[in-house]
Chain A
C-alpha cells in the first residue's frame, strides 16, 4: 500500500460520522436503480453491516478519546451543522445499526411471502432510508436536523408499514402518519421556541445559551412541546394508540425493525433534549417532568401488559407488550437519578434485542403457518422446536428472569426506585413483571401442551436464513444478561455524563 492510499484511508475514516448517514442514503437510491430483489438486498446487506462496523469503530473511538465532533461541509459549529457523537448516542447508534443489520439478514424469505416481489427493491430502498433517518437523528448535533431526519425516518416507516398484506395495513399506516405528523409538528414547535430564545440550533450551544437565559415561560412551553412530540413517536401511554395497529399489520420484518429502533431513537431524542439542552434542574425542578412521566409510565406498564393478556393475535400481543416495555424506559427517565436513567438506557438496549427477536419469531411463524393467531401456535413446540425455544428464551427475558437481559434492566430500575425512596414503585415494577409472565405463558402453554388439530397441515422448522438471526438475538438476550459490561457499563457512563457526575 502506498503512502497516498494509507493517507486516504485515514482521512476517510475521519469522515465516518458523515458516511454513517450519507452511505445508506445514497445506497437507497442505488437499490431503486438496480430493480432486482436479490441484488437490492445484497446492496442493503453490505451497507447495513458496514454501518454496524462503522458504529463499532465510532463507539471505540468515543471510549478512547471522548466526544467526536464533525463539521458538515467544513462549517464550524455552532454556525454549521455538527455531527456530535458521545457515549449516549454511540450506544444508541450501535443498537440501531446492529438490529438493522440482523433483521435485514433475516428478511428475504419473509418478504417473498409478504411483499410483492416487484416491490422488493423499493422495500429495501425504504428500509435504508429509514435507517438513514434513524442514524441521522441519533448522531446529529443540530436540533433542526433532528426534525429533518425524524421526517425521513417517519415517512419511510409509514410506507414500510403500508406494505402489509391486508388492507388494514393501509389504515394503520395512515393512522400512524396522522399521529406521527402531529408528533413531528410538536417537536418542531418546541425547537422553534428554543431557537426564538437562544438564536441557535446547535444542541451544545443551545444548552449554553439556555443556561444564560434561565427558565422563562417560552422555555417551559418548548420543553412541554418537545415532550409531547417525542412522546407520540415514542408511544408513551396514552399517546400509543398508533402503535398496536401499525405493529400488527406491518410485514413481520418491518415490525421487528421498527419495534427495536424507531421508538428507541425517539427515547434517545427525549433524553437528549431533557438532559443536554434543558438540563435536569430545569426539567425536573421547574417543570416537574418526572411527576408527569412517572404515573404515565406506571400506567403504561400495567395497561399495556394487561391488554396484552387478552389478545388472540400474538403479534398484537407483543405490540401491546411494547407499550408496557416503553413504560419501563420512561420510568427510568422519570426517576431522575443516575441509576434510574441507567436502567432506562439499559432497557433501551435490552428491549431492542428481545423485541426484535420475538418479532422475528413471528416472521417465522407467519412464514410456516400463515397466521400469528394463538390457535396457530398449537403444538408448534414440537413442530418448530428451535423457533419456539427462541420464543421462550426471549419471552423469559421479557418477564425479567435472572440470567436474561430483562432481569438486568429491571434490577437497575428497582435500584433506582429504592434509591429515590420510592419503594412502592419498586413493588409495582415487580408486579407488572408478573403480567408479562401471564401473557408469555399463554403462548408457551398452547405451543407445548396443546395438540395441533387433526387436519393441521404439516409444517417444518423455519429456514436457516431466519433461524440464525433469531438465535443470534435470543443468544444475545442471555449473553448480555450474564456479561453486562458493554450494556450496563456504557449506559451508566452515559447516565453519569448526562447528570454531570464525574466518571
Chain B
C-alpha cells in the first residue's frame, strides 16, 4: 500500500466525482449534451480506474462479475420493457407518448427510462470487458 500513494489518494478523491458526473450526464441528457451511452462509459471508467489503482481483486469485491452480468441484462430488459409497455398501453413499440396520461409527460418518462437502461448496460459491459481482459489467464475467471 506504500506505492502509488499520490495516485491512490487522488483517485479516491476523483472516483466519487467521476461517478457523480456520470449521473449528471445521464440525467441531464434531456436538456443538454449527454445520455446513456456517454454516462455509461464515464461510470464504467470510474470502475476501471478503481481496478487499476487498487487491484482487480478489490474491484471484483465491490463489483462482483455476477452482479455486473445481471446489470448487463437488466439494462437491456429495462429498455425493451419500456417498448413493450408502450405496446400494452396502446401505442407502437417505444411510443413513449402512451406511457403517461399526457403525451409530453410520457415522452419525458420514456426517454428517461430508456436512457437509464442504456447507461446501466453500457457501464456494466465496460467493466465486464475490462475484468475479462485484466483477468485473462487466471483461474478465477
A15-B87, A18-B83 known; A70 and B70 CB under 8 Å? no
Query: A382 to B137, alpha carbons, bound, how many Å?
Result: 46
- Whether B77 contacts A22 by the Cβ 8 Å rule is no
What are the interface flags for A109-126 relative to B under an 8 Å C-beta threshold, 1 for contact and 0 otherwise?
000000000000000000
Q: Within the assembled complex, what's the spacing in Å between the Cα atoms of A33 and B77? A: 11
Tell me if B56 counts as interface (CB < 8 A to partner A): no
In the complex, which residues of chain B have a beta carbon less than 8 angstroms from the beta carbon of A8?
88
Min CB distance A43 to B, Å, is 12
Stretch at the interface among B10-18, B43-51, B93-101: B93-101
Q: List 24 A-B contacts (CB under 8 A).
A: A8-B88, A12-B87, A12-B88, A18-B92, A18-B93, A19-B84, A19-B93, A22-B93, A25-B76, A26-B76, A26-B77, A26-B80, A29-B72, A32-B69, A32-B72, A32-B73, A33-B70, A33-B73, A33-B74, A72-B93, A73-B93, A73-B94, A73-B95, A73-B96
Q: Which residues of B contact A33 (CB under 8 A)?
A: 70, 73-74
| Apart from the given pairs A12-B88, A74-B97, 13 other A-B contacts in the complex at a CB distance below 8 Å | A15-B87, A15-B92, A19-B84, A22-B80, A22-B93, A26-B77, A26-B80, A29-B73, A29-B74, A32-B69, A71-B92, A73-B94, A73-B96
Interface residues of A in 29-87 (CB under 8 A from B): 29-30, 32-33, 70-74
Given known A-B contacts A15-B87, A32-B69, A74 and B76 have beta carbons under 8 A apart = no
Is the CB–CB distance between B92 and A74 below 8 Å?
yes
Residues of B within 8 A of A74 (CB): 91-92, 95, 97
**10 closest Cβ contacts across the A-B interface?**
A18-B93, A74-B95, A29-B73, A26-B80, A73-B94, A29-B76, A32-B73, A74-B92, A15-B87, A33-B73
Residues of A within 8 A of B (CB-CB), count: 19
Return chain A residues, CB-CB under 8 Å to B77. 26, 29-30
Q: How far is the CB of B61 from chain A (nearest CB, A)?
A: 21
| A contacts, CB < 8 Å to B | 8, 11-12, 15, 18-19, 22, 25-26, 28-30, 32-33, 70-74
Closest chain-A Cβ to B19's Cβ sits at a distance in Å of: 24
CA–CA, A29 to B91, complex, Å?
A: 24
B-side interface residues, number (CB < 8 Å) = 21
Total A-B pairs in contact (CB under 8 Å)? 57
Residue in A closest to B94 when the chains form the complex, CB atoms? A73
In the assembled complex, B90 has its CB within 8 A of some CB on chain A: yes
Complexed CA–CA distance, A232 and B139 (Å): 38
CB of B110, distance to nearest CB on chain A (Å): 9
Contacts of A29 in B (CB 8 A): 72-74, 76-77, 80
Contact yes or no, B92 A70, CB < 8 A: yes
A11 touches B90 (CB 8 A): yes
Name which residue of chain B comes closest to A26, CB basis. Answer: B80
- Which of A22, A28, A70 contacts B83 (CB under 8 A)? A22
B81 on the A face (CB < 8 A) = yes
Closest CB of chain B to A480's CB: distance in Å?
33
Asked if A72 meets B73 with Cβ closer than 8 Å, knowing A15-B87, A22-B84, the reply is no
Within 8 A of A (CB), among B74-121: 74, 76-77, 80-81, 83-84, 87-88, 90-97
**CB-CB < 8 A to B87: which residues of A?**
11-12, 15, 18-19
Distance A29 CA – B76 CA, assembled complex (angstroms): 7
Question: Hey, which chain B residues are within 8 Å of A28, CB to CB?
Answer: 76
- A30→B96 CA distance, assembly (Å): 23
- Which residue of the partner chain A has the closest CB to B95? A74
